[in-house]
Amino acid sequence: DGGITQSPKYLFRKEGQNVTLSCEQNLNHDAMYWYRQDPGQGLRLIYYSQIVNDFQKGDIAEGYSVSREKKESFPLTVTSAQKNPTAFYLCASSIKRGTYNEQFFGPGTRLTVL
Amino acid sequence: GESVGLHLPTLSVQEGDNSIINCAYSNSASDYFIWYKQESGKGPQFIIDIRSNMDKRQGQRVTVLLNKTVKHLSLQIAATQPGDSAVYFCAERGDDKIIFGKGTRLHILP
């Protein structure tokens, strides 16, 4: 089965801790994205990557970091600098950014800061 | 600024009736639009898309209409079923960015 996997599904973190969310895709897509979803709001772009070893900040990158060492993987680290990290995090991929191709989403990770 | 929004946060529809979910966008340069369905606790699923050079596109039980004059997008679901219960949101691509709307919750009445 081709698709995007995110792990874990639920994640709990104590204040002051960094935590890394996993995102893997076997769709051979070049572009990958991280979004944050809060209740009553649309998806907000955190970071995106168009190619291996390259990534760009989205609209709300502060307090987050990413890496793209492999085409299949785009992990997101939520650092202690993120003031309000409790949210539902969605990873997505597309064939290429800026084309008429939809983004495919993973199942999401719900992060709760205790 | 750019915005993608929905006219109604919640829509209740009788099972078997048709559903119409609306979306307004503000960037006249947007050239590609997508509808997603998101069930509770899951990631969004692609439903249908439409390019700005089209007015209408049909899929299985779904139709998307695009009115560029008033910058309005709608999703029509025929013969709504219990499995259609979800949050639906539109997305627009303009100026090399994709902006997602806040979503409309579709509630199916038995």
Strand partners for A36: A44, A89
Check residues B2 and A103 and name the one with the higher pLDDT: A103
Interface test with B, best of A38, A43, A89 (most B CBs within 10 A): A43
Confirm or reject contact between B103 and chain A (CB < 8 A): yes
State percent of chain B over pLDDT 90.
74
Test A42 with B46 for CB contact under 8 angstroms: no
Q: Are strands B10-14 and B104-109 parallel, antiparallel or unpaired?
A: parallel
In this prediction, residue B6 carries a pLDDT of 42
Are A61 and A45 within 8 A, CB to CB? Answer: no
Contacts of B102 in chain A (CB under 8 A): 40-42
Weakest-pLDDT range from A59-63, B48-52, B63-67, B100-104 = B100-104
User: What pLDDT is stored for residue A37 in this prediction?
Assistant: 93
* Residue B32 to residue A41, Cβ atoms within 8 A: no
Judge whether B69 is closer than 8 Å to chain A, CB to CB: no
**Total residues belonging to chain B:** 110
Asked whether the predicted pLDDT for residue A39 surpasses 90, the reply is no
Q: Which two tokens stand for residue B83?
A: 């499995």
Instruction: Quote the pLDDT of residue B105.
Output: 93
Q: Number of A to B CB contacts under 8 A, please give it.
A: 43
Q: Is B42 on the interface with A (CB under 8 A)?
A: yes
Q: Is B99 exposed, middle or buried (0-12, 13-18, 19+ CB in 10 A)?
A: buried
Cβ distance A51 to A36 under 8 Å? Answer: no
B31 secondary structure, DSSP code = -
Nearest chain A alpha carbon to B101: A42
- Six-digit token pair at A6? 């995110």
- Output the pLDDT for position A2: 65
> Which parts of chain A fold into alpha helices (H)?
none
A108 reaches B (C-beta below 8 A) = yes
Instruction: State residue A1's pLDDT score.
Output: 54
Instruction: Give the tens place of pLDDT for each residue, B29-71.
Output: 899 999 999 998 899 999 999 999 999 999 999 999 999 999 9
Report how far residue B55's alpha carbon sits from residue B72's, in angstroms, rounded to the nearest whole number: 11
Tell me whether the omega of the peptide bond preceding residue B44 falls within 30 degrees of 0, making it cis: no
Res. A4 pLDDT band, cuts 50 70 90: very high
Phi then psi dihedrals of residue A99, to 5 deg: -115, 175
